Amino acid sequence: METMAGTIRSMMDAAIPFEESPKLTQFAHGGGCGCKIAPGLLREILARAPQGLVPPELMVGTETADDAAVYRLNATQALVATTDFFTPIVDDPYDFGRIAATNALSDIYAMGGTPIMALALVGMPIAKLAPEVIGRVLEGGASVCREAGIPIAGGHSIDVLEPIYGLVGLGLVHPDRVRRNADAQAGDVLVLGKPLGVGVLSAALKKGQLDGAGYAEMLRHTTQLNRVGAALGQMDGVHAMTDVTGFGLAGHLLEICRGSGLSAQVELASLPLIGSAVQWAREGVATGASGRNWAAYGSDVDWPADAPEWQRTLCTDPQTSGGLLVSCAASAAPAVLQAFQSSGFAQAAVVGRMQACEHDRGSRLAFA
């Protein structure tokens, strides 16, 4: 680890002038959470990785593909640790930094934790980007950390072909208030905090078709911190949480199902959607990651034969800095919705429920 001043100074010495810097997205073959490794391939890779040490203090590790690791420090504190980084989803460097930082900190909130500090992860093609561009990425990330009330206490940088930015996030949570993705209960209702469609908007942007209003809407959702997760973690009726990111709503809900040994049903008509994303999805605009997601887990999904293709696109759409997905007792749903809405998540909605698996079918996700 190095100080951020030292991290960037040597990079900028070799960078080109600002006026000659190309667009950030032209370097990236993917963007945002859409550049995650497809879930099926990721499972295959991880299955080949040797099992490391699992001390008794490690409350959450790799066993259920949860959002962050959790390590018990003492009777009242557990450390939440996560890292997240990706290639540009937008061309504006300041906005890229804001989106990446918001996305990284979301994993801590999804565990019911509160961030305490971050480290910056910086990879830049230093011979092709101006110092001002790199600096603006860092400024964007720092602005989000200030909003979250935490410092960026250090980081690391490398010279790479594609711009990469993200954070290591560290937080704290009471050991009894950790909200894993594997603790959902049959009969729980599912509440989604943010509307779906960020990936579709990013695809329209990359095609040069997204207007200013659509860009502003995408930015509003992707830079909204999921701080409500810390408050949700304090509610007794909240059993499980995750954030919806690169694998789409369907993929991350399936992780809850598999971890909890349950199935789920989602009502398509209840899903909160970004209005302009619906328009683009109807016109066939989608990310490549959406198709890869469906190929990876579609066999575990019961999809209505009469449902239009655009709805499936939005259910598999990779959400960069997406919303929290909460599995809670039905009696707690009004309080969960109130917490979301009072925190500025106006489109939060009950979207489905958890249920026992059918005999011999294992965990499945049904849309209706």
The pLDDT of residue 20: 52
Contact 132, 11 (CB under 8 A): no
Measuring CA to CA, how many Å separate 90 from each of 27, 121, 125, 151? 11, 18, 16, 25
pLDDT of 88 over the 50 cut: yes
- Per domain, the residue ranges of the chain are 4-176, 179-367
Measured between alpha carbons, how far is 125 from 127 in angstroms, rounded to an integer? 6
Domains 4-176 and 179-367 share a fold: no
User: What is the rounded average pLDDT for all residues in the chain?
Assistant: 91
Could you tell me what percentage of the chain is helix, strand and coil, using 3-state DSSP and rounding each to the nearest 5?
Answer: 40, 20, 35
53 vs 83, higher pLDDT: 83
Closest CA to 111 of 214, 48, 10, 182: 182
Measured CA angle at 10 (ends 9, 14), to 5 deg: 115
pLDDT at residue 7, rounded to an integer: 47
In the structure, what pLDDT confidence band is assigned to residue 322 with cuts at 50, 70 and 90?
very high
Indicate the fold that domain 179-367 takes in CATH.
Answer: Phosphoribosyl-aminoimidazole Synthetase; Chain A, domain 2 (3.90.650)
Q: Give the C-alpha distances (Å, rounded to integers) separating 76 from 7, 115, 173, 174, 180.
A: 35, 16, 8, 5, 17
> What is residue 3's DSSP assignment?
-
Q: What is the pLDDT confidence band of residue 11, given thresholds at 50, 70 and 90?
A: very low
User: How much is the average pLDDT of 250-275?
Assistant: 97
Is the Cβ–Cβ distance between 194 and 272 less than 8 Å? yes
Cα pseudo-dihedral 267, 273, 276, 277, rounded to 10: -70
- Determine the average pLDDT of the residues in 147-172: 96
**Do 15 and 129 touch, CB atoms closer than 8 A?**
yes
> Which CATH architecture describes the domain 4-176?
2-Layer Sandwich (3.30)
Residue 145 is a catalytic residue: no
pLDDT (0 to 100) of residue 116: 98
Spatial separation of the C-alpha atoms in residues 327 and 254, rounded to whole Å = 12
- The residues that bridge with 156 in the sheet, in sequence order, are 121
Note the pLDDT of residue 31: 55
Q: What is the mean pLDDT of residues 92-118?
A: 97
- 200-238: pLDDT as tens digits: 999 999 899 999 999 999 999 999 999 999 999 999 999
Q: pLDDT tens-digit profile of 295-318?
A: 999 999 999 999 999 999 999 999
